[in-house]
Amino acid sequence: MDWLSGSGLIWIEGRFLGIEWHVWKLVGWVGNAVFFSRFLVQWYATERQRRVVVPQAFWWLSLVGSLILLSYAIQRRDSVFIAGQAFSWIPYLRNLWIHRKTKSSQRTCPSCDRINPAHYRYCPGCGSVQADPTGDGSVLSKGC
């Protein structure tokens, strides 16, 4: 273990990884970790569904990670870093809004659990009649 501490791989000049640690440095690394974790979430979701998927969690991690990094950049007064993070939250919020709108306009098929747009009268997965979103039978009675 002497090679870890003695050669300066872990402890360099009395500092862990040679980094001067303080609260804001920790905030910056947490921001990096949160922002990076979005890739793992997206990768996992894609592998699980065997198609390219961008889950809602990806956008939440993007938003939170970028805001943490923006606060770090402002504290450091680094104009390049601030400019890089200052507006990135806009598409993240927009994508979260779209996710919310899309999800609220979907229905789960009671027969096969497939998620379909709410306006579908029949499930493309199993062909069963979808629940009437109006509840009064007006949509189902129209047929297709």
> Which residue from 83, 112, 115, 118 is in contact with Zn ion, where contact means CB under 5 A?
112
Q: How far apart are CA 2 and CA 75, in angstroms?
A: 37
Nearer to Zn ion, 42 or 130 (CB): 130
Nearer to Zn ion, 88 or 132 (CB): 132
3-state secondary structure 38-69: HHHHHHHHHHHHCCCCCCHHHHHHHHHHHHHH
Nearer to Zn ion, 47 or 113 (CB): 113
- Cβ 110 vs Cβ 131: under 8 Å: yes
Return the residues of window 49-108 that contact Zn ion according to CB under 5 A. none
**17 touches Zn ion by CB under 5 A:** no
Q: How far apart are CA 124 and CA 107, in angstroms?
A: 12
To the nearest whole angstrom, how small is the minimum distance from the Cβ of residue 47 to Zn ion? Answer: 25
To the nearest whole angstrom, how small is the minimum distance from the Cβ of residue 56 to Zn ion? Answer: 23
**114 touches Zn ion by CB under 5 A:** yes
**109 touches Zn ion by CB under 5 A:** yes
**Residue with token string 């509840």:** 135
**118 touches Zn ion by CB under 5 A:** no
> Which residue from 79, 105, 111, 138 is in contact with Zn ion, where contact means CB under 5 A?
111
**110 touches Zn ion by CB under 5 A:** no
First to last CA, the chain: 73
Nearest by Cα to 14 from 5, 22, 4: 5
- Cβ 132 vs Cβ 139: under 8 Å: yes
**115 touches Zn ion by CB under 5 A:** no
Residues that bind Zn ion (CB under 5 A): 109, 111-112, 114, 123, 125-126
